[in-house]
């Protein structure tokens, strides 16, 4: 199993190098879409998947995330009235619907707007249960943001900002205490700077997925240090936290599962699930595009359920199980 993981790690390293190579632009079409020939040559398989049906499928390789139950959102609705402000309006309902050519209708403005609203809807908007007590679903579901310092953030590829392209991501992982095990699963809320099209994946989306999987595969074990300790620079701190030849956190993992919600232009979103097949193939399931052009009809709950997903593991018989005992 260790040799298999080493081979998978080498495969992800090679993909990461190829995607960040200076000549990668030769493999891009309109709106930074990855050319099919590149995907085929790298053994990357893009599969249409109906994420609107949230039943977990036991297919090979399986989807290793279980969406948050809709009933949990229904029992704990966003406290919309609590956000009423006479001066600034209501933070929840003052979302700007998309109108082509209108002020603040650029792709950058639109993706920022949707990402901010969706992240708040899933993670930070105040919710109340049936007793009117405050509830935080992010904490309840044991999902925590990945922030510096963190071993998965030691290499580039999560963000890009040039004249031609721009992408960024907020990443989350499952809390060890809540889920009782250190898990390789990563949830991503991504923003892209191009118009999304069905039956494709954009450069930024693929670069982020591969970078996350590659960095998770290469994530070194962290040495606990005194938080009051002073360092001359960032490199010195990194060398102290993650010494050379540190063991890998996920030395025997073969999937490196990532669930991505990608916000694209003009004001849309889609869902990806990526993992290795246990050999040399990278399997990426993708949804069709969903419209976030109107506050009233955008699929806030559906996408939030995926951002609040729980992790699934495979037992020795291939059955899907929860990490919780």
- Does a structural domain hold residue 243? no
Beta strands in 196-267 (DSSP E): 258-265
Q: Is residue 129 situated within a structural domain?
A: yes
- Evaluate whether residue 247 is within a structural domain: no
Q: What is the spatial distance between Cα 183 and Cα 196, in angstroms, rounded to a whole number?
A: 31
Hey, what are 173's tokens? 């992982």
Distance of CA 72 to the CA centre of its chain: 21
Question: Per residue of the chain (325 residues), what is the pLDDT tens digit?
Answer: 667 889 999 999 999 999 999 999 999 999 999 999 999 999 999 999 998 775 656 566 889 999 999 999 999 999 999 999 888 889 899 999 999 998 889 999 999 999 999 999 999 999 998 787 888 999 999 999 999 889 999 887 778 777 777 889 999 999 998 998 999 999 999 999 999 999 999 999 999 999 999 999 999 998 888 777 777 777 787 888 888 888 999 999 999 999 999 999 999 999 999 999 988 999 999 999 999 999 999 999 999 999 999 999 998 888 889 997 5
Q: How many domains does the chain have?
A: 1
C-alpha to C-alpha distance for 59 and 103, rounded to whole angstroms: 46
Residue 305: name the closest of 81, 56, 91, 58 by CA. 56
Does 241 map to a domain? Answer: no
Query: Does residue 249 lie in a domain region?
Result: no
In this structure, is residue 149 part of a structural domain?
Answer: yes
* Domain extent at residue 317: 2-198+207-221+254-321
- Establish if 236 belongs to a structural domain: no
In a domain, 234, yes or no: no
* H/E stretch holding 254: none
pTM summary value? 0.94
């Amino acid at each position: 199993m260790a040799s298999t993981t080493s081979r998978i790690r080498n495969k992800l390293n090679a993909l990461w190098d190829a995607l960040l190579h200076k000549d990668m632009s030769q493999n891009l079409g309109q709106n930074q879409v990855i050319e099919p020939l590149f995907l085929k040559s790298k053994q990357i398989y893009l599969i249409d998947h109906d994420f609107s049906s949230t039943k977990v499928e036991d297919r090979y390789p399986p989807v290793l995330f279980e969406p948050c139950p809709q009933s949990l959102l229904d029992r704990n609705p966003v406290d919309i009235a609590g956000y009423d402000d006479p001066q600034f309006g209501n933070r929840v309902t003052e979302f700007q619907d998309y109108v082509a050519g209108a002020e603040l209708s650029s792709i950058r403005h639109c993706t920022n707007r949707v990402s901010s609203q969706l992240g708040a809807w899933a993670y930070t908007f105040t919710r109340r249960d049936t007793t009117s007590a405050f509830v935080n679903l992010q904490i309840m579901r044991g999902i925590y943001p990945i922030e510096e310092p963190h071993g998965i953030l030691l290499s580039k590829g999560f963000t890009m900002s040039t004249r031609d392209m721009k992408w960024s991501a907020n990443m989350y992982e499952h809390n060890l205490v809540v889920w009782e095990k250190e898990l390789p699963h990563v949830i991503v809320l991504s923003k892209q700077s191009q118009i999304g099209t069905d039956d494709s994946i954009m450069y930024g989306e693929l670069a982020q997925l591969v970078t996350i999987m590659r960095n998770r595969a290469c994530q070194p074990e962290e040495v606990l240090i005194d938080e009051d300790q002073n360092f001359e620079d960032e490199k010195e701190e990194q060398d102290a936290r993650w010494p050379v030849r540190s063991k890998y956190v996920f030395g025997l993992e073969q999937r490196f599962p990532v669930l991505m919600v990608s916000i694209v232009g003009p004001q849309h979103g889609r869902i990806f699930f990526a993992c290795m097949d246990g050999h040399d193939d990278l399997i990426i399931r993708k949804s069709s595009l969903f419209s976030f052009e109107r506050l009233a009809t955008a699929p806030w709950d559906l996408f939030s359920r995926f951002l609040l997903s729980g992790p699934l593991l495979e037992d020795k018989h291939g059955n899907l199980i929860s990490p919780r005992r």
